[in-house]
């Protein structure tokens, strides 16, 4: 299953809830959720812990917009819009944690 998150982990508990409830699958961080993919963020520990269970992707254009494309935590996979579409088609279902 694909989990899509679009909120910053430091202002909203969407990513936290996702990590608590979901067991495995793909996670795609978009919009303000891309901050969760950056090193030095207070959420980094939780993301690293989740990397064992999930494959974590981040939408690169959103990261670039925020000036953080050079801060991706190693092991998180940057994707472009094509990659975004591919993730939605290769997974049998998808949830947006709004």
Partner 1 sequence: MSDIKKFMFVNRKAPYGTIYALESLEVVLITAAFDQDVSLVFLDDGVYQLKKGQQTKGIETKNFSPAYRALEGYDIEKLYVEKESMEARGLSEEDLLVDVTVMGRAEMGELMDQQDVVLSF
Q: Please give the residue ranges that form the binding site for partner 1 (CB under 8 A).
A: 6-8, 10-11, 31-32, 35, 38-42, 44, 60-62, 64-71
Tokens of 87: 């993730």
Q: Count of CB atoms within 10 A of residue 89's CB? A: 9
Write the CB contacts of 53 (distance below 8 Å, at least 6 apart in sequence).
23, 24
Question: Closest approach of Cβ 32 to partner 1, in Å?
Answer: 3
Give the residue with the Cβ less far from partner 1, 1 or 80: 80
CA dihedral of residues 64, 81, 75, 98 (deg, nearest 10): 90
Query: Closer CB to partner 1, residue 8 or residue 50?
Result: 8
Q: Which is nearer to partner 1, 55 or 66 (CB)?
A: 66
Tell me the closest approach of the beta carbon of residue 56 to partner 1, in angstroms: 17
Q: How far is the CB of 73 from partner 1 (least distance, A)?
A: 10
CA 33 to chain centre: 6
């Amino acid at each position: 299953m694909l989990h899509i998150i679009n909120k910053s982990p430091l202002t909203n508990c969407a990513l936290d809830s996702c990590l608590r409830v979901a067991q495995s699958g793909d996670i795609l961080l978009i919009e303000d959720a891309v901050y969760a993919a950056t090193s030095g963020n207070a959420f980094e520990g939780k993301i690293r812990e989740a990397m064992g269970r999930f494959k974590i992707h981040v939408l690169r254009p959103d990261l670039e917009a925020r000036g953080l494309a050079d801060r991706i935590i190693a092991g998180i996979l940057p994707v472009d819009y094509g990659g975004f579409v591919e993730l939605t088609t290769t997974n049998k279902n998808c949830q947006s944690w709004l």
